[in-house]
Structure 1
Amino acid sequence: MSWVTVVWSMVAAASLTLAGVHLPVWMRDRTAWPNFYFSMMAVSTALFAFCEVSVLLAQTPEQFAMAVRWAHVPIWLVIVSLVFFVRTYFEAGRPWLGWGVIGLRGISLLLNFTTGQNLNYREITALDRIPFLGDLVAVPIGTPNPSMLVGQLSSIALVVFVADASLTAWRRRQRSAVLTVGVGATFFALAGNLQTMLIFWGIIQAPVTISLFSLGLVLAMAYELSRDVMRASKLVRDLRESEQRMILAVEAAKLGLWVRDFARDEVWASARMRELFGLTPTEPAGFEKLLQRVHVADRDLVRQAMEQANAGDGHYQTEFRTVMPAGRTCWIAAQGRVEFDERHRPVRTRGTCSDVTVRKEAEQEMLHLRQELAHVGRVSVMGQLASALAHEINQPLGAILRNAEAATLLLEAQPPDLDELRAIVEDILGDDQRASAVIDRMRGLLKRRDIEMQPLAVDDIVGDVAALVRPDATARQVKMVVEIADDMPLVLGDRVHLQQVLLNLISNGMDSIDEAGRKARSIVVSAVRNGLQAVEIAVTDSGLGIPPDKLEQVFGSFFTTKPSGMGMGLSISRTLIETHGGRLWAENLEGGGASLRFTLPVALQEPTR
């Protein structure tokens, strides 16, 4: 076997080996197009090497001409693969220039089969023999084909395309790739093209060795791709390290992780996630399966949160209860993000869950303590109103006594005046109802109770409080004014707790008036619409007002400006209003006085009286 056969077989074997290494990369990852185009180029280089061996060892002009003709097919594949490789690897290069290269090479391939014996020769008349690698190889003698200029022009265009793409990549600081692929492709393309020009135009007599230049280009590209493989390997190691750190952080935070794949309708759940939902390590964790472990009262809330995330920006955050197989209830805080495709269809949901049972129990305990404080506050306010309320109750009781004495005298008359007795009885019933209403309002405010949200009429809430406070306001010479707009909708709230808020605000206002000592002494309770979904209620006094730097501080716990105050009234009031879904704030008025305002959400049902 000659050395020519050995060397060119090694070129083909090396090319096919490199193709066999990189083609599976593309088959596993169909986005790795540079690996695919490199594999095609390597295979084409191997095919060209076999054709070139036939050229070098040809025995007749006809064999030489036929081998050269078929060698242009793998050359076309090499150039097309190189264009696409540079375009996808650098993500650069003018598309029109790349298509121009492919177009010119396609025309030259057509001319190769339609003009002369091949693209390079019209006719090969004889073969000369020259020594090469210890063997005598064929060198053609014949008439060059002018169509060869099209092929050489495509090679020059290829060099321009590679140089243009390399310049862009250099500006992007892809300098290692430019030095390896860009410079290598330019050098080997120029060297190979120069050799063919000198040989086929009859300037020199030398063997055709384009395969060696192609192999050099293949090796340069393989070297650069191997650098990518090394970088990918390092990235995998870094990702594994990051994964271990993430797992450590997740375990430290006691978070449960889950991923939902919409296409396959599958859910992956971490061990902690399964524990939070009471699932075994091998039990399927479908979305509906997880939803079945959610407390029946919270399922619609969870489903609605997920549907809103799928239809909106993809983010969700909610809290709900889960029921363990043993019957134990846990509170779970969940948040996550939905990934969408280009049509905004949900593809994947990633989320975390954590056990917040301890926090929820603490919140419930805190709410219970606040309710106890609220009850104490109501008792305190009722204590302040006690003398005025006693006076208001004393009036109907005194009237009842006087009517009873009059009725006794009338009964002694013979015959008794029945019409007058009926009138006295009606007066007694009316006075009794007045006293009973006062006592009922006092009992309602003094009861311990949880917050019960229901539709309420604003005029009922304000009217009941005004009836309780008006005797004390009269005793303190404070004018009580109620202004409620005609278009008041129902509000959603708890009657007793909202009355407590009004009592606190009105009581504070009258205390401020007493401290001011002004002649203008008035409290105005007003209610107006605040947009379509809220009602705003304001308690305005003619007192001293609030120092500007204390407008927010007055709502803090244990902050008070009164010597005997607990500092909890406004704090409790703000908590109660925020629990109702509204907000409470304070404003100073021009000329003195302050206005404390709060909002309540509008209800959509009939009032409960």
Structure 2
Amino acid sequence: MKPLLPATRATWTAARTLLALALVAAAYLAAGVLSLELYPVGDGLAGIWPAAGIAVAAALILGPLAAVGVLVGDFLFGLYAGWAPIPALTLAVGSVAEVLVAWLLLVRLIPIDIRLKRTRDVAGFVVMGALPGALLCIALRIGLLALLGNSYELNAENMSGLIIGFVGHSLGILVVAPVFLAWTAEPKLPRRRVEFCLLLLATAILNVIGFSVTVAAPGSAVLYTIFVAVLWAALRFGPRETALVIAITGVFATWAAGSGSGPFMLSNQNESLISLSLFLFVATATALFLAAAACERDLYLQRVVESEHAQRALIDQMAEGVVTLNVDGRLDFASQRFCMLCGKSETQLIGLRLTDLFEDAGPSTIESLPTAVLSGHDIETEVSLTVPEHGSRTLAITARCLTAADGRPTGTMAVVADITDRRRAEERSQQHLRQLAHMGRVKSLDEMAVAIAHEVAQPLTAITTYVQAALRFLQADKFQRNSVQEALDGASSQAQRASVIVARIRAFVQDRPWQPTDLLVDDLLRETARFAEPEARQHGASLALAPGRSPCRVHGDEIQLQQVLINLIRNAAEAMAEQGKSLRQIVLAAQLTGDDLVDVSVSDTGPGIEAGQREHLFEAFCTTKKNGVGIGLALCRSIVEAHGGQLWAETPATGGAIFHIVLREVRHGQLTAN
């Protein structure tokens, strides 16, 4: 299909606009004629003026151009009511002002949604749409008629007509406009069409009963049965259907008041009109506000459900499982991921306690978790869970308290992460580090072979000397028992010394698992000094312990920490030997810092560390030695970091280098963890 030319498109637009204005004029004229037929009050006035509602609705739907259709329709009605052309046109101008004021207030000043699904839109429509425009319309009509020379005295009769006009226009806008606005915005029939038809039928029946001359007398309670249909429409459907029910009720009520039947059969027409107006105003405002409140409630509930679905979808996409517990410590929600971790369905999990799931975790930790969380403490713990067909899993649980708007605890939310692979990777990493450390100790032993041989040779030589002396004493003519005993005691002492040296070497070089214990730092330094002193002496260096060492404990593996210290001592001795320093001194020290930390340092009087090498000193394969590989310091840092500490170096202004090993202090009686 070929697209329309611009001229053709403009012609069609103009034709549609003219047709819409013609429909507005025709609807306005028809509504005015109908109102005169239903409830005439004289002088071309009607008890209710539904044409005003059509005019305001047309302006809010079509825009201010709808005022042209209103002008034509009101002018034709004026002629129909017997007014001369000039006064009829004057009255029509007042209706146009009413329309334009309503459009200006409800579109420009306080914009509303014409679906009237919010209470603020209903309030704006009632206050700014129905009242100001009607008041301005009547006032403008009086003024224009006065300018045209028509005498208008503000007597009791004219005041009554002024009030009737204002009330009629206001009720016309209030009762009729919402029907056109709501159904134009959403023209489709409701989904519950059968119920909708039953609603309309019930509305008609209740109106016939409520406004019947034979059933409903003035002040009869039967009139209030109409509110059954109003409540039905407001709570089960919405503003569209509610506005339609009110419009139907308005037609029946106007007919009853105009025909002098039903509950509005009062002493005179003014009292009947006031009673009808109050009834329609209360019924319409109540119904519209109730329908809007019901829509807001439904929208709020829908958003809550959508938010819950979105949160559920987000939670189900998480790699961690999420559960919530009520104040009794029982599960009331479990995500899909948590169900997968436990190997159970959500139905099987709801209502269980954590102790029913994590039996291997120890009751003290799990049983106290909900209570501790509800008291305001965030909890982090690890548990083990055995799942059929999947074996044992290690789970990390992070729990925190859920609170209501007033701060009252309402339950517990726990995020459960499967850290089985992470723990296995850490174990493998620890195993690799242990193997690498073992290789480093074997290499260190190889490099210390000469010093160790000299260390072992001393007690062996002494043993030989003591044994030879004992033999000479035994071969002598005069047997000297005390001398033989002294020689054998000396040989035994040196044999024990050799045994201690060999045991120390074997423990150092042995490949064994991680064995962390609480260590006295002073004992660690002394044992390290005994082991490393021969090699330091071989390089012409002295190894000493600094005086005034702080008595403190650390938690770690003794052999691995000794390995770090020995590596640093050997590096210091070799560096001083290569530089040919005359003063070769290595000092081991330990002191407490302000943050419950222990600073173990190895200082020397060597050449120090160049600034360019300090940044890469602990990187793998970075070395300053001619035949070095660059693994020692990198391995030392890995060992220290595996102990939760730090290893760093500095070059003081006085020269030399200081390597610091900073570990967490373990106080007496404090619990330690791997």
What per-residue deviation string (whole Å, max 9, x for no partner) do you get for residues 540-582 of structure 1? 1223333446545433344433344343333333333333333
Q: 1:227 to 1:343 in 2, by over 3 A?
A: closer
Residue 342 of structure 2: aligned partner? 277
Residue 184 of structure 1: aligned partner? 126
**Residue 543 (str. 1) matches residue 499 (str. 2):** no
Using the size of structure 1 for normalisation, the TM-score is: 0.61
**Please, which of 145, 150, 160 is the counterpart of residue 204 of structure 1?**
160
Residue 242 of structure 1: aligned partner? 310
Residue 480 of structure 1: aligned partner? 543
What per-residue deviation string (whole Å, max 9, x for no partner) do you get for residues 337-372 of structure 1? 421347865322223323332232222112111101
Q: Is the 8 A contact 1:399 1:431 kept in 2?
A: yes
How far the C-alpha of 1:530 sits from its partner, in A, is 2.8
SS of the residue aligned with 1:545? coil
**Residue 567 (str. 1) matches residue 636 (str. 2):** no
Residue 393 of structure 1: aligned partner? 456
Q: Is the 8 A contact 2:324 2:333 kept in 1?
A: yes
Bigger proportion of residues as strand: 1
- 2:624 and 2:392 map into 1 onto residues whose CA distance is 44
What per-residue deviation string (whole Å, max 9, x for no partner) do you get for residues 100-154 of structure 1? xxxxxxxxxxxxxxxxxxxxxxxxxxxxxxxxxxxxxxxxxxxxxxxxxxxxxxx
How far the C-alpha of 1:394 sits from its partner, in A, is 0.8
Q: 1:548 to 1:222 in 2, by over 3 A?
A: farther
**Please, which of 563, 571, 595 is the counterpart of residue 500 of structure 1?**
563
Q: Is the 8 A contact 1:259 1:349 kept in 2?
A: yes
What per-residue deviation string (whole Å, max 9, x for no partner) do you get for residues 362-402 of structure 1? 22112111101011111111222111111111111111112
Residue 355 of structure 2: aligned partner? 291
Q: 1:591 to 1:386 in 2, by over 3 A?
A: same
- 1:496 and 1:375 map into 2 onto residues whose CA distance is 10
- 2:371 and 2:329 map into 1 onto residues whose CA distance is 18
How far the C-alpha of 1:239 sits from its partner, in A, is 3.6
**Residue 376 (str. 1) matches residue 376 (str. 2):** no
- 2:110 and 2:469 map into 1 onto residues whose CA distance is 112
How far the C-alpha of 1:215 sits from its partner, in A, is 4.4
Q: 1:600 to 1:576 in 2, by over 3 A?
A: farther
**Please, which of 390, 400, 403 is the counterpart of residue 340 of structure 1?**
403
Q: Is the 8 A contact 1:524 1:541 kept in 2?
A: yes
Q: Is the 8 A contact 1:188 1:216 kept in 2?
A: no
Q: 1:403 to 1:264 in 2, by over 3 A?
A: closer
Q: For the aligned residues, what is the CA RMSD? A: 4.0
- 2:111 and 2:604 map into 1 onto residues whose CA distance is 74
SS of the residue aligned with 2:323? strand
SS of the residue aligned with 1:519? coil
Return the letter of the residue paired with 1:228: E
Q: Is the 8 A contact 2:321 2:338 kept in 1?
A: yes
Using the size of structure 2 for normalisation, the TM-score is: 0.56
Q: 1:588 to 1:338 in 2, by over 3 A?
A: farther
Return the letter of the residue paired with 2:630: G
Q: 1:455 to 1:363 in 2, by over 3 A?
A: closer
**Residue 462 (str. 1) matches residue 418 (str. 2):** no
Q: 1:324 to 1:466 in 2, by over 3 A?
A: same
How far the C-alpha of 1:204 sits from its partner, in A, is 2.4
- 1:385 and 1:307 map into 2 onto residues whose CA distance is 58
Residue 656 of structure 2: aligned partner? 593
What per-residue deviation string (whole Å, max 9, x for no partner) do you get for residues 442-464 of structure 1? 11111111222222222221111
- 1:515 and 1:556 map into 2 onto residues whose CA distance is 22
Residue 582 of structure 2: aligned partner? 519
SS of the residue aligned with 2:546? strand
Q: 1:321 to 1:398 in 2, by over 3 A?
A: same
Q: Is the 8 A contact 1:458 1:488 kept in 2?
A: yes
**Please, which of 212, 228, 231 is the counterpart of residue 296 of structure 2?**
228
How far the C-alpha of 1:281 sits from its partner, in A, is 5.2
What per-residue deviation string (whole Å, max 9, x for no partner) do you get for residues 529-548 of structure 1? 23474422111122333344
What per-residue deviation string (whole Å, max 9, x for no partner) do you get for residues 409-442 of structure 1? 1211121222222222222122222222211111
- Which stretch shifts more, 435-444 or 419-428? 419-428
SS of the residue aligned with 1:555? coil
Q: Is the 8 A contact 2:323 2:331 kept in 1?
A: no
- 2:332 and 2:547 map into 1 onto residues whose CA distance is 55
Query: Equivalent pairs: percent with the same residue?
Result: 27
SS of the residue aligned with 2:321? strand
Residue 189 of structure 2: aligned partner? none
Residue 184 of structure 2: aligned partner? none
Q: 1:602 to 1:564 in 2, by over 3 A?
A: same
- 1:246 and 1:214 map into 2 onto residues whose CA distance is 47
- 2:623 and 2:645 map into 1 onto residues whose CA distance is 23
**Map of 1:371-450 to 2, 5 A cutoff?**
371-450=434-513
In structure 2, stretches of 5+ residues that fail to align are: 1-38, 40-104, 113-117, 139-153, 162-269
Q: 1:378 to 1:561 in 2, by over 3 A?
A: same
Q: 1:473 to 1:369 in 2, by over 3 A?
A: same
- 2:342 and 2:526 map into 1 onto residues whose CA distance is 50
- 2:376 and 2:543 map into 1 onto residues whose CA distance is 50
Q: How many residues align?
A: 431
Return the letter of the residue paired with 1:235: R
